[in-house]
Structure 1
Amino acid sequence: MKTKPLKCTMIKNIYTMLYGGLIFACAFPSMNMFYDRWNTPKWLCTLFLTGLLAVCTAILGHNRKKTSDFSRFSVWSEAATMIVILECLYALMFLFKYPTTWRIGIAGTFDNPAGLAFFLCALLPFISGMALRFLKDNGKRNIYITVALLAGTTVVLTHSRTGILCLVAYILMALKDYGKISIRPTWKTIIPAIAFTGFSILFFKPESTSGRMFILEQTWELICKRPWSGYGTGGFDREYMNQQAEFFKQHPESPVTMLADETGHPLNEFAYLWVEHGIGAPLVLLLSWAGLWHVLRKRKDISSQIGSYTLIPLLLFALFSYPFKYPLAWIAVGWCVSIAGKTYFKAFSRRKSLRALATFCLASIGIGIGTYLAHALPQEKEWGHVAREALKGKGREMMPRYARLYPHFSHNPEFLYNYTAELFQAGQTEKAWHTAQVCRKQWSKYNLELLTGDICRELRKDEEAVCHYRQAAYMCPVRFAPLEGLYYAYRNIGDTIRTDSIAQFIQQKK
Structure 2
Amino acid sequence: MDIVLFIFLTFITLNRYVIQTNLSFSIRFMELVGLGVLYIVLRNLSNKNYVCLLLMVVVSGIIQAIYGNLQLLEYYPSNHSGFRMTGSFFNPGPYAGFLSAVWPITLGMYLFNANIIEQMRSKSGSVFLKKMFQYIFNYIPMFGVVSILLVIPASQSRGSWLAVIISSCLLLEYRYRVIKRLFNKYTNLTKSILITGCILIIGVSLLGIYLFKQGSSDGRLFIWKVSTEIIKENPVCGVGLDRFKAHYMNHQANYFSQHGETKETLVADNTYYAFNEFIQFITEQGVFGFIILLFVLFFIIKIKTADVKERNELGIIIKISLLTIGVFAFFSYPMEILPIKLIMVILLSGLAKLDQNKTKLFQNFKVNVPIIISLKTLVVGCILIITVFSFKYINSLSESFKNWQFALNSYQYGDYETAIEAYEEAFPELKDNGEFLMNYGKTLSIYKQDEKAIQILERAKIHLNTTIIETALGDAYKNNKQYKESEIAYIHASNMIPTRFYPLYLLAKLYDEIGQKEKAVKIAKVILGKEIKKSSTAIKEIKQQMKNIITKNELFNKNKEPMK
TM superposition score category, shorter chain reference: 0.7 to 0.9
Deviation at 1:200, TM superposition (A): 3.9
For 2:148 and 2:475, the matched residues in 1 are separated by 48
Which secondary structure does the structure 1 equivalent of 2:280 belong to? Answer: helix
Taking structure 1 as reference, are residues 441 and 184 closer, same or farther at Cα in structure 2, changes over 3 Å only?
farther
In structure 1, the gaps of 5 or more residues are 1-38, 62-66
Deviation at 1:444, TM superposition (A): 2.3
User: Are residues 1:313 and 2:310 paired?
Assistant: no
Taking structure 1 as reference, are residues 382 and 425 closer, same or farther at Cα in structure 2, changes over 3 Å only?
same
Deviation at 1:238, TM superposition (A): 2.5
Does structure 2 conserve the Cα–Cα contact (< 8 Å) formed by 1:44 and 1:373?
A: no
Deviation at 1:363, TM superposition (A): 7.2
The count of residues paired between Structure 1 and Structure 2 equals 461
Taking structure 1 as reference, are residues 142 and 277 closer, same or farther at Cα in structure 2, changes over 3 Å only?
closer
For 1:119 and 1:185, the matched residues in 2 are separated by 34
For 2:35 and 2:239, the matched residues in 1 are separated by 34
User: Are residues 1:109 and 2:88 paired?
Assistant: yes
User: Are residues 1:264 and 2:272 paired?
Assistant: yes
Deviation at 1:176, TM superposition (A): 2.2
User: Are residues 1:209 and 2:217 paired?
Assistant: yes
| TM-score (norm: length of structure 2) | 0.72
Mapping 1:316-355, distance limit 5 Å? 316-342=327-353
Paired residue type of 1:124? W
Deviation at 1:105, TM superposition (A): 7.0
Mapping 1:45-444, distance limit 5 Å? 69=46, 72-97=49-74, 106-135=85-114, 141-181=138-178, 197-295=205-303, 300=309, 301=311, 302-342=313-353, 360=380, 370-444=391-465
Taking structure 1 as reference, are residues 88 and 382 closer, same or farther at Cα in structure 2, changes over 3 Å only?
same
User: Are residues 1:448 and 2:476 paired?
Assistant: no
For 2:354 and 2:171, the matched residues in 1 are separated by 26
Does structure 2 conserve the Cα–Cα contact (< 8 Å) formed by 1:44 and 1:377?
A: no
1:90-117 deviations in whole A, cap 9, x for unaligned? 1121122179x99957321212222011
Does structure 2 conserve the Cα–Cα contact (< 8 Å) formed by 1:118 and 1:317?
A: yes
Match of 1:19 in 2: none
For 1:501 and 1:71, the matched residues in 2 are separated by 73
Deviation at 1:305, TM superposition (A): 2.2
Paired residue type of 1:231? V
Deviation at 1:46, TM superposition (A): 11
For 1:406 and 1:114, the matched residues in 2 are separated by 32
Does structure 1 conserve the Cα–Cα contact (< 8 Å) formed by 2:407 and 2:419?
A: yes
Does structure 2 conserve the Cα–Cα contact (< 8 Å) formed by 1:261 and 1:476?
A: yes
Deviation at 1:50, TM superposition (A): 9.5
Taking structure 1 as reference, are residues 328 and 183 closer, same or farther at Cα in structure 2, changes over 3 Å only?
same
1:112-171 deviations in whole A, cap 9, x for unaligned? 222011111111223223323544858853442232121133222111111010111112
Does structure 1 conserve the Cα–Cα contact (< 8 Å) formed by 2:167 and 2:324?
A: no
Does structure 2 conserve the Cα–Cα contact (< 8 Å) formed by 1:126 and 1:306?
A: yes
Does structure 2 conserve the Cα–Cα contact (< 8 Å) formed by 1:152 and 1:167?
A: no
In structure 2, the gaps of 5 or more residues are 1-25, 118-133, 184-191, 531-542, 544-564
State which of 507, 510, 514 in structure 2 corresponds to 1:486.
507
Taking structure 1 as reference, are residues 44 and 208 closer, same or farther at Cα in structure 2, changes over 3 Å only?
same
State which of 481, 495, 503 in structure 1 corresponds to 2:516.
495
Q: Rg larger in 1 or in 2? A: 2
Taking structure 1 as reference, are residues 432 and 472 closer, same or farther at Cα in structure 2, changes over 3 Å only?
same
Which secondary structure does the structure 1 equivalent of 2:272 belong to? Answer: coil
Paired residue type of 1:151? I
For 2:516 and 2:415, the matched residues in 1 are separated by 37
1:417-468 deviations in whole A, cap 9, x for unaligned? 1110111222312111111111122222111111111111111222221111
1:38-66 deviations in whole A, cap 9, x for unaligned? x98x9999999998x799x69xx9xxxxx
Task: Tell me how large the CA RMSD over aligned residues is.
Answer: 3.9
Paired residue type of 1:373? I
Paired residue type of 2:216? S
For 1:476 and 1:338, the matched residues in 2 are separated by 43
Does structure 1 conserve the Cα–Cα contact (< 8 Å) formed by 2:442 and 2:453?
A: yes
For 1:184 and 1:81, the matched residues in 2 are separated by 31
Of 458-467 and 127-136, more deviation after overlay is shown by 127-136
Does structure 2 conserve the Cα–Cα contact (< 8 Å) formed by 1:132 and 1:141?
A: no
Taking structure 1 as reference, are residues 206 and 184 closer, same or farther at Cα in structure 2, changes over 3 Å only?
farther
Does structure 2 conserve the Cα–Cα contact (< 8 Å) formed by 1:118 and 1:163?
A: yes
Paired residue type of 1:202? Y
